[in-house]
Amino acid sequence: GAVVSQHPSRVICKSGTSVKIECRSLDFQATTMFWYRQFPKQSLMLMATSNEGSKATYEQGVEKDKFLINHASLTLSTLTVTSAHPEDSSFYICSASGGLDEQYFGPGTRLTVT
């Protein structure tokens, strides 16, 4: 099956610093990548969708300047949380799709901002 990796799996940072999360599709070309945020015992909240070489499309209420998304190639997308604050602490999950069908998810990144 299709494999998506995410790095790092866990990160702790101090308030005010920036954190970059990488998402890679290992065995297929991802024309579209999605970034989600998930709070404990809640479902996935879509943050943004990105297509290779294009600007990301952000969901309503998601700050573009705070959550920077780059989709530089067909196998790599990055999410940078800028000037992180404790309220940004969450579980961030990326997914990738090679077409219009199912998404394949990464293992997630647990971000803790102290």
In this structure, what are the phi and psi dihedrals at residue 87, rounded to the nearest 5 degrees? Answer: -70, -10
Q: Judged by CB under 8 A, does residue 11 bind another protein?
A: no
Question: Site size for another protein, by CB under 8 A?
Answer: 26
Please identify which residue in 12, 27, 73, 102 interacts with another protein, judged by CB under 8 A. 102
Please identify which residue in 14, 42, 60, 61 interacts with another protein, judged by CB under 8 A. 42
Alpha carbon 47 to chain centroid distance? Answer: 8
DSSP string, 45-100: EEEEEEETTSPPEEPTT--TTTEEEEEEETTEEEEEE-S--GGG-EEEEEEEESSS
Q: Judged by CB under 8 A, does residue 6 bind another protein?
A: yes
Enumerate binding residues for another protein (CB under 8 A): 1-2, 4, 6, 32, 34, 41-44, 46, 49, 91, 93-95, 100-108, 110
